[in-house]
């Protein structure tokens, strides 16, 4: 099996620049910083993200001799400008790094944390859960940000440039502005009502009281000044200095328009919470699949364990020879089962006894795989198994439904000429985060604490994702790096999309590794997402396909989702060459760039 897949990947490497989705020739990716091209091939390093200005910031750093970590930080800072509803210094994320010299993968958990005063009733009033829509746009939803210290920790461990230098492209972009596109306007429009609750947010993102015009230049001078302050004083300014105090004041007394009638419940974030925040350097999850090593994030993210378990379940099926319908059926059912186990077992390991090793064991996956039948569909919600005491085909436990997660977030992937690779997913939770902008600072605060279960998902089963003091809410972010048998990178990728991140990464990996799709085609393929729910979400490309009827004939139920995820990735090619790949259509298309399109 390993030799077959290796041969397939070598063919992909030779032909990767020939893309069936009609992408422009790779050199065009460098012709204009604002031009989006979904695939680029060349030397000297590569960056892939959803935004051309952000990818260009990373390429600028690589051209000046910076490494993949430097480029990732510069790209992330620029995404905080151009993707302010998805990421920024008011949020958190997960950073996965491959070191070419040691051929090892390491990670940083920069997830936001609940205030030290939080308990399991954080979102409960008068004995009932606060309505989700009310919790989102409130101080209650805001966790201590982890993004700035994630950047600093990554640079201290693996970077070659100072934070001040790497913030300059983003500071310039915030000061001089970027061109508003359809996606930015649409995301603003979707948030217009709640943005108007908060005068500082409305002033910044609804210039002159109206939606930003496509083609206009959007500037954020407050964020430019904030970046300049971080460059001068270091990230400590956000955790202990003036910026920290501004965050605390904003969370505890959200600056709401009194005429809006909006009940912006106050949070209880304190200066002590910010000063006490730490990222966690930890080992990645590892799954062996078709002879490759698949590395991702361990808890507090559920991404690595859930993608890994699903891959282990699929290991016994030759997906390369399966029909399209059987491939999708098996992928959907493996996702369903893995999500059942995720809901029961995964939470913040500082508070919960998470059986990470057991969830990723092939023995456990085999005990779950036998639930799958080719002529029938499992009924959701599927009950979790017991990874510490696997019982073959056991479905006797008590099931718990999958809780809602916001569908925003953003992802970037970077590689350098030395062979180092970064897969980094960062977020402020749902599109627009809490909707609350820190006055005078130019960034939106996260609503990450709504990723907790507001009340137990099932009264009969322990819920590992209830709030707690200083606890990290469970995430689905799945930045992933795949290594070959020599511990050299094959591909690295990730996606936004809330809980659909897991299924997006899983489907893209199997499309690339098993189905033989070029990376950009694996990214562009129409998606399905099953998360232990009654129906599976389908994008229009599958909804309108004959495959839908074939799968319905064996019992699948579906609902339509216009867009699932927005993947960005890089692939190592022979001879020091890199391929960067991004979305062709989703979120207005992504931006793949390389340093030198030719040697």
Half-sphere exposure of 464 (CA within 13 A, CB side): 22
pLDDT, average across residues 3-18: 37
Q: 147 and 93 in contact (C-beta within 8 Å)?
A: yes
409 catalytically annotated? yes
Look-up of token digits 């090793």: 357
Residue-range domains of the chain with CATH: 2-122+129-281+404-480+487-553+557-596 (3.60.20.40)
DSSP alpha helix (H) spans, 298-415:
303-314, 324-345, 356-359, 362-369
DSSP alpha helix (H) spans, 315-361:
324-345, 356-359
Res 322 pLDDT > 50: yes
Q: Which of 39-43, 390-394, 476-480 has the lowest mean pLDDT?
A: 390-394
Structure tokens at 288: 């062996």
pLDDT, average across residues 505-527: 98
Question: Which tens digit of pLDDT belongs to each residue from 137-188?
Answer: 999 999 999 999 999 999 999 999 999 999 999 999 999 999 999 999 999 9
- In this structure, what are the phi and psi dihedrals at residue 406, rounded to the nearest 5 degrees? -60, 155
Structure tokens at 31: 């012709």
Partnered with residue 214 across adjacent β-strands are: none
Q: 450 and 429 in contact (C-beta within 8 Å)?
A: yes
Q: 227 and 170 in contact (C-beta within 8 Å)?
A: yes
pLDDT, average across residues 190-215: 97
Question: Which tens digit of pLDDT belongs to each residue from 253-294?
Answer: 999 999 999 999 999 999 999 999 999 999 999 999 999 999
Confidence of residue 394 (pLDDT cuts 50, 70, 90): confident
State the binding site for L-glutamate.
Answer: 111, 451, 475-476, 498
Res 14 pLDDT > 50: no
Task: Tell me the longest C-alpha to C-alpha distance in the chain.
Answer: 67
Look-up of token digits 């989102």: 136
Q: Which of 15-24, 311-320, 498-507, 566-575 has the lowest mean pLDDT?
A: 15-24
- Ramachandran region, residue 303 (left: φ > 0; alpha: ψ -120 to 50; beta: rest): alpha
d(CA 501, CA 470): 25
Q: Which of 75, 402, 409, 425 is catalytic?
A: 409
Res 578 pLDDT > 70: yes
d(CA 538, CA 563): 9
pLDDT score at 508: 98
In 53-171 the beta strands, taken as DSSP E runs, fall at 92-99, 104-110, 124-125, 128-129
pLDDT score at 35: 83
Res 23 pLDDT > 80: no
Q: 419 and 472 in contact (C-beta within 8 Å)?
A: no
Q: CA nearest 255: which of 444, 447, 84, 437?
A: 437
pLDDT score at 498: 92
**Bridging pattern class, strands 285-289 and 280-282:** unpaired
DSSP 301: B
- In this structure, what are the phi and psi dihedrals at residue 389, rounded to the nearest 5 degrees? -145, 70
Report pTM.
Answer: 0.94
Confidence of residue 2 (pLDDT cuts 50, 70, 90): very low
Confidence of residue 20 (pLDDT cuts 50, 70, 90): very low
Question: Which tens digit of pLDDT belongs to each residue from 441-458?
Answer: 999 999 999 999 999 877
Q: Greater confidence, 120 or 402?
A: 120
d(CA 527, CA 543): 10
Q: Work out the percent of the chain whose per-residue pLDDT is above 90.
A: 90
Structure tokens at 520: 């950009």
d(CA 561, CA 11): 33
Question: Which tens digit of pLDDT belongs to each residue from 344-387?
Answer: 999 999 999 999 999 999 999 999 999 999 999 999 999 999 99
Res 65 pLDDT > 70: yes
DSSP 144: B
Res 404 pLDDT > 80: no
Q: What is the mean pLDDT of the chain?
A: 93
Structure tokens at 151: 């950047």
Contacts of 384 (CB under 8 A, 6+ apart): 340, 341, 343, 344, 345, 397, 399, 400, 461
pLDDT score at 297: 98
| Chain centroid offset of residue 160 CA | 25
pLDDT score at 451: 95
Confidence of residue 407 (pLDDT cuts 50, 70, 90): low
Q: 330 and 316 in contact (C-beta within 8 Å)?
A: no
């Amino acid at each position: 099996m390993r030799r077959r897949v290796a041969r397939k990947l070598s063919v992909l490497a030779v032909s990767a620049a020939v893309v069936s989705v009609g992408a422009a020739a790779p050199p065009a990716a460098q012709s204009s910083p604002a031009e989006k091209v979904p695939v680029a091939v060349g030397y000297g390093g590569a960056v892939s993200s959803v935004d051309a200005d952000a990818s260009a910031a990373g390429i600028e750093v690589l051209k000046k001799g910076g490494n993949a970590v430097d480029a990732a930080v510069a790209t992330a800072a620029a995404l905080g400008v151009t993707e302010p509803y998805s990421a920024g210094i008011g949020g958190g994320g997960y950073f996965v790094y491959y070191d070419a010299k040691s051929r090892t993968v390491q990670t940083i958990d920069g997830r936001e944390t609940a205030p030290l005063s939080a308990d399991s009733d954080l979102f409960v009033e008068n004995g009932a859960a606060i309505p989700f829509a009310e919790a989102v746009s409130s101080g209650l939803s805001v966790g201590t940000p982890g993004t700035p210290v994630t950047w600093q920790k990554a640079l201290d461990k693996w970077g070659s440039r100072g934070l001040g230098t790497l913030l300059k492209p983003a500071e310039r972009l915030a000061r001089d502005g970027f061109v508003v596109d359809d996606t930015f306007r649409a995301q603003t429009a979707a948030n217009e009502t709640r943005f108007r609750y908060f005068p500082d947010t409305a002033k910044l993102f609804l210039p002159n009281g109206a939606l930003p015009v496509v083609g206009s230049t959007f500037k954020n001078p407050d964020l430019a000044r904030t970046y300049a302050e971080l460059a001068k004083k270091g990230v400590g300014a956000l955790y202990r200095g003036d910026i920290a105090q501004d965050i605390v004041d904003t969370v505890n007394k959200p600056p709401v328009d009194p005429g809006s009638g909006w009940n912006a419940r106050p949070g209880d974030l304190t200066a002590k919470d910010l000063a006490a925040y730490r990222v966690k350097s930890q080992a990645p999850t590892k799954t062996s699949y078709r002879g490759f090593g698949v590395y991702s994030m361990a808890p507090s993210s559920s991404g690595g364990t859930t993608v890994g378990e699903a891959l282990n379940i699929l290991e016994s099926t030759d997906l390369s020879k399966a029909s399209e319908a059987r491939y999708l059926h098996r992928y959907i059912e493996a996702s369903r089962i893995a999500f059942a186990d995720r809901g029961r077992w995964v939470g913040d390991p500082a508070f919960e006894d998470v059986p990470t090793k057991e969830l990723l064991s092939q023995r456990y996956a085999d005990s779950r795989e036998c639930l799958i039948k080719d002529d029938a569909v499992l009924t959701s919600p599927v009950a979790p198994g017991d990874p510490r005491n696997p019982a073959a085909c056991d479905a006797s436990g008590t099931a718990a439904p999958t809780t809602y997660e916001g569908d925003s977030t953003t992802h970037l992937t970077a590689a350098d000429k030395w062979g180092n690779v970064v897969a980094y997913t960062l977020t402020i939770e749902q599109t627009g985060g809490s909707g609350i902008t820190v006055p005078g600072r130019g960034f939106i605060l996260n609503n990450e604490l709504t990723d907790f279960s507001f009340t137990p998902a099932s009264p009969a089963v322990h819920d590992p994702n209830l709030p707690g003091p200083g606890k990290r809410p469970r995430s689905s972010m799945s930045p992933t790096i795949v290594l070959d048998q020599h511990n050299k990178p094959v591909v690295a990728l990730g996606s936004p999309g809330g809980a659909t991140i897991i299924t997006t990464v899983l489907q893209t990996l199997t499309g690339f590794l098993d189905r033989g799709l070029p990376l950009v085609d694996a990214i562009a393929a129409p998606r399905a997402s099953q998360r232990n729910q009654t129906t599976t979400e389908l994008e229009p490309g599958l909804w309108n396909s004959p495959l839908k009827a074939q799968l319905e004939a064996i019992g699948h139920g579906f609902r339509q989702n216009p867009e699932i995820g927005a993947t960005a990735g890089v692939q190592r090619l022979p001879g020091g060459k890199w391929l960067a790949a991004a979305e062709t259509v989703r979120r207005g298309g992504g931006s793949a760039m390389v340093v030198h399109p030719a040697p």
